[in-house]
Structure 1
Amino acid sequence: MTAVRVRFVAALSAALAAAATILPARAANIDTIAKQAILIDVSTNTVLFEKNADQRMPPSSMSKIMTMYMVFDAIKKGRMALDHTLPVSERAWRMQGSKMFVELHNSIKVDDLIKGVIVQSGNDACIVLAEGLAGSEEAFAEQANAKAKELGLTNSTIVNATGWPDPNHLMTARDLSTLAKRLITDFPEYYHYYSVREFTYHGIKQGNRNPLLYRNIGADGMKTGHTDIAGYGLTGSAIRDGRRLVLVVNGLPNMQARADESARLIEWGFREFNTYTLFKAGDTIEQVPVWLGEQETVPVTVAENLNQTMARTDRPNMKVALVTNAPVAAPIAKGTPVGKLVITAPGAPTREVPVVAAADVGRLGFFGRAIAAAKYLVLGSGA
C-alpha cells in the first residue's frame, strides 16, 4: 500500500539560525596567502572557504582561547569567580613574551587576569590562571587536552596555557574554529571580554592586538598569535545582520598582511554568501496521505528551523524535494518521522533532513477500516 512519493516544494527565504552538521558550501573563486585558513558561517556550521584546514600547526597565542574556555567553564560551574584573587608565582612572574606585567607574590582578581590574557595576550596572566585552576601548568594542560577531546578537537595537542613554542603544542585551523564557536555559544555572558579594546594594569596601558576590532566590519573577537615558526595568525569573529562568521588564518608574513587578509576574507564571506530559511519549525510543508486514519492527510513539518547557507548566485538553482512513503499508516503521533526533505544546490553535497508529523492522527474504528479497505480494493490506492 505504500510507495515512495517525491514532491518538489517551494522554499521560503529569511535569515534565522539552526542546523547541526558542518556543511561545505560550493568552492568559490578566492584564495589566500595564509598557509592555513578556514571561514565558517556559525549559524549553519557551513564551511565557506578552507585551505589546509586539517594541517597541524603551531597555534601560538591563538591557543589562549582554550585557556579562556577552561576559565569560563570553571566560573560557570562555580569553581572560580570573577572577584576571586589568585597568587602570582615566580614562574608566572618570570614568564617572557607578551605580558600583563603581574607583580611577584601579588594576588590578582580573575576579572583582571582575563583582560590581561584577552586584551594584552599576557603569558604571565595565563600561567596565573592555569596554576589557579589546576595547581600547575602541566596539570592544566592535561585538563585542557581532556576538554579538547570532549569538544571534538580531534587534531589538537595542548602542552601549555600560553601557546609558547613547543614541538608538541599543535592545533589545526578547523579545531581552532570549532573551539572559537564553542566559546561564543557556550559562554555568551563572558564573550564581551573579547571586544575590550584596551586595558591598563600596573600603570601600563595596552591595546587589544586584534586588528579586526578597529575596522568597521562587525568584528567582536577573538585572538591573534605570532611566533617565528608559525608566522602571524588570527582567530576572528564578526557578526552582521544576525549572521556570525568565524575565521582562522595562520602562517601570514607580517602584521599588516594578517590584518588585511583577515578583513578581506570576512568581507568576502558576508558579501558572497547568505543564509536562507527554508522552513521554520512548525511550518506545514505539505499534506501527506494517511492510511486508515481519522483524517485523510497529516501535515508534515521540520522539528527545528531549517536553514541553508550558500553563495547568493546559487540560490535560484536550489531545489527542495519532499520524499515520503505514502500513505502513512495510522495511528500517527505528532513528531513521528514520516519522510525527509532532500536539498540540492550547485556544487554542494545533497542534504537530507527528516520531516515529522505536525499533528496526531488517530486510527479509524473497525467499520471505518472496513469501508476504507473495501474502497481500496475497488478504487485502488489512488482513491
Structure 2
Amino acid sequence: MRATRGLAGFVLTLLVCAAAAAGFAPAAEAAPRESRYAAIVVDFDSGDVLHAVNPDRQSYPASLTKVMTLYLLFDALESRKVSLRTMLPVSSHAAAQAPSKLALRPGDRIAVEDAVLALVTKSANDVAVVVAEALGGSEDEFAEMMTRKARQLGMSSTTYRNASGLPDSGQISTPRDQARLGRALIRDHGEHYHYFSTRQFKWRGQPISTHNRLMLRYKGADGIKTGYINASGFNLIASAKRDGRRIVGVVFGGDTAGWRDRQMAQNLDKGFARLKGGIDIRSAQVEEEDRQDLDRLIASAKTGPQDRKGKVVMAAARPQDDESRGAGDAEPDSWSVQVGAFSAYKPAHKAASAAAKKLGGLVSRATIDVDKAGSGKKALYRARLSGFTEDQALAACKRLAKAKKDCKVVQPSA
C-alpha cells in the first residue's frame, strides 16, 4: 500500500513538472496582473449602497478626473466668474498635453461651452488644462482646489494632482468617492448636467462623438464619464433613471471598454432590481469578489490561440505609449486612416479636414487627429482620422482611393 502511494506521488510530481515545463501554471499564477475590478451602485436620492464590490479599493481615476474639473467649472459659471461665451486662452503647457486632445495650439482660444463639450465627449486633455489655468492660475493650483473640493464633498480617499487624469502616481480615488462626486454634480449642478448626454458636437466643422457607449445603449442612461489609462484599466461613472428613480454607478479596472460597459449594465440592473424589490437597501451587503476568479477572468480575456508547443500566446498588447501618453479615455483599440505626413501642423490639419469632407457620412464617429512624430526640424505631422472600426477604416481608404487620394489604414498599436 505504501509502495503504491509512493509510486502515485512520484507520478504526480512528474506530471506537475511536465506541466510546468510545457508552460502551464496554476490559474492564480496565469493572471497577467492582480485584479483591479471594483464597483459600487448607489441610490441618487439617499446615497444608500445598492451593490458594491471592493468599493474602497484605491486606484487611478484616469479621465473620471474631468468630472471634478467640470464641477469646478460649473461652480465658476454659477458664481458668474465666467460665462458660456467666455474665451479661455491656450498656453504652451496646455497645448503640449498628451492625447486624447483637440490639438489646440498656443495662442488659441476656446469658449467655455466648447470646453465643456470637448471634456464630456472627446475627454480632451489639452482643454482640461486650459480650464485649470483659467480658474486656478496654474494646473498645480487647480489640482489643490480639486482636492479641497473633494474633501468638502466627503471624498476622503481622493487626491488630485492634475486636471485631466493623465498618469500620476499621486492621483488616486475609489469607486465610493467617485459615486459621491457623481451624485454631487447632478445635485449641485443639475442645470448643466444635460451636457453629459451630448452624443456629438462639432469642433471647427468636424464632428466629435462621445466615448460613452453605455449611455447610447442602456435604457434610462443619461451620462456621465468614461476614463482610461493603462495603469487603471477602463473606468466609468454612469447614471440612469427609471420610473422616477435615479441611481449612480461606478466601475474601476475593466480590462476592455466592452467588458466595463457590460459589467456596469449588470450592476445597474442589480441596483434597479433592489429598488423595485423594496429590499432594505440600508443593509445591502458588500460583495467581495473572489480574487482568483477575477484574475482567471482577466487572464482568459487576454489569451489568444495556442502556439505549437501548447503555450498560450498572449493577445496583442495595448499600444506601448498608452500609459506614457495617457490616452485620455479614447478607445485604445480604435483604427485610424492616414492621408499624409507633413513638416508642419497646418497642412496636415488641412489634409485631414479635406479627407473628412470627402468621406462624408463615413466619418460621423471619427475625429481629426494630427499626430506629431519626432521633434525640432525632424518633426513630422501625420494627418489622420481616428475612431474607426477596422471595417470602417478599410472602407474609408477604399473611398479615398477612388477619389485618387493617398490613404493607408493604421492599426491601433501603430
Band the TM-score falls in, shorter-chain normalisation: 0.5 to 0.7
* Bigger share in helix: 2
User: RMSD over aligned Cα, in angstroms?
Assistant: 1.8
Residue 152 of structure 1 aligns with an amino acid whose one-letter code is G
CA distance in 2, matches of 1:348, 1:243: 18
1:154 paired residue number: 156
2:88 paired residue number: 86
Shift in CA distance, 51/116, structure 1 to aligned 2, threshold 3 Å: same
* Bigger share in strand: 1
1:46 paired residue number: 48
Q: Does 1:191 align with 2:197?
A: no
2:38 paired residue number: 36
Q: TM-score normalised to the size of structure 2?
A: 0.58
Q: Does 1:97 align with 2:82?
A: no
CA distance in 1, matches of 2:85, 2:283: 51
Moved more, 181-190 or 264-273: 264-273
CA distance in 2, matches of 1:114, 1:216: 23
1:259 paired residue number: 261
Deviation at 1:43, TM superposition (A): 1.8
Q: Secondary structure at the match of 2:49?
A: strand
Residue 273 of structure 1 aligns with an amino acid whose one-letter code is L
Deviation at 1:346, TM superposition (A): 9.8
Residue 197 of structure 1 aligns with an amino acid whose one-letter code is R
Unaligned runs of 5+ in 1: 1-32, 275-310, 316-344, 350-383
Runs of 4+ in 1 over 6 A off after TM superposition: none
1:335 paired residue number: none
CA distance in 2, matches of 1:222, 1:216: 12
1:182 paired residue number: 184
Deviation at 1:273, TM superposition (A): 2.3
Q: Does 1:106 align with 2:108?
A: yes
Deviation at 1:243, TM superposition (A): 0.6
Q: Deviations over 1:109-168 (max 9, x none)?
A: 000001011111000110000000011101101111111111111011100000011110
CA distance in 2, matches of 1:115, 1:346: 37
Residue 202 of structure 1 aligns with an amino acid whose one-letter code is R
CA distance in 2, matches of 1:348, 1:270: 13
**What is the aligned counterpart of 1:236 among 235, 238, 242?**
238
Residue 248 of structure 2 aligns with an amino acid whose one-letter code is V
CA distance in 2, matches of 1:222, 1:176: 11
The percent of aligned pairs where both chains have the same amino acid is 37
CA contact (8 A) 2:63 2:123 kept: yes
Q: Secondary structure at the match of 1:171?
A: coil
CA distance in 2, matches of 1:216, 1:64: 22
Which has the larger Rg? 1
CA distance in 2, matches of 1:262, 1:235: 9
Unaligned runs of 5+ in 2: 1-34, 286-414
**What is the aligned counterpart of 1:130 among 126, 129, 132?**
132
2:78 paired residue number: 76
1:221 paired residue number: 223
Q: Does 1:212 align with 2:214?
A: yes
Equivalent residue pairs, number: 251
